[in-house]
Amino acid sequence: MSNVVCSLDEIEPGTARKVVVDGQAVALVRIGDDVYAIDDVCSHANVSLSDGEVWTDTCMLECPKHGSSFSLTTGEPDTLPATRPVAVHSARVEDGMVIVGVTS
């Protein structure tokens, strides 16, 4: 099921914010006018990825705790200590609103 979560204007380009969709914490990331959605909880420990740095050039979100960066398109981490991917969810912009569909 898809949900309107916020307007695109509410997310600064190059930043992430946490939203809860269908009870699932999701890190929503804006790069330019594109949005990406991955699980907010790091696969290594219970840390909110949306508090981390967005790498716009590589389309990744870095965990603020230990520095593993997760691909916004595959959910795979690029470095240790995280070894498992996080889930990737669908995200799109329609009429200036961000719509997210959570994959369970």
Binding site for ligand FES (CB under 6 A): 42, 44-45, 47, 63, 65-66, 68, 81-82
Q: Which is nearer to ligand FES, 5 or 39 (CB)?
A: 39
- The 3-state DSSP class for residue 101 equals strand
CA distances in angstroms from 92 to 28, 79, 80, 100, listed in the order given: 11, 28, 30, 7
Q: Which is nearer to ligand FES, 42 or 102 (CB)?
A: 42
Question: In angstroms, what is the minimal distance from the CB of 51 to ligand FES?
Answer: 10
Question: In angstroms, what is the minimal distance from the CB of 57 to ligand FES?
Answer: 20
Among the listed residues 84, 82, 81, 100, the one whose alpha carbon sits nearest the alpha carbon of residue 92: 100
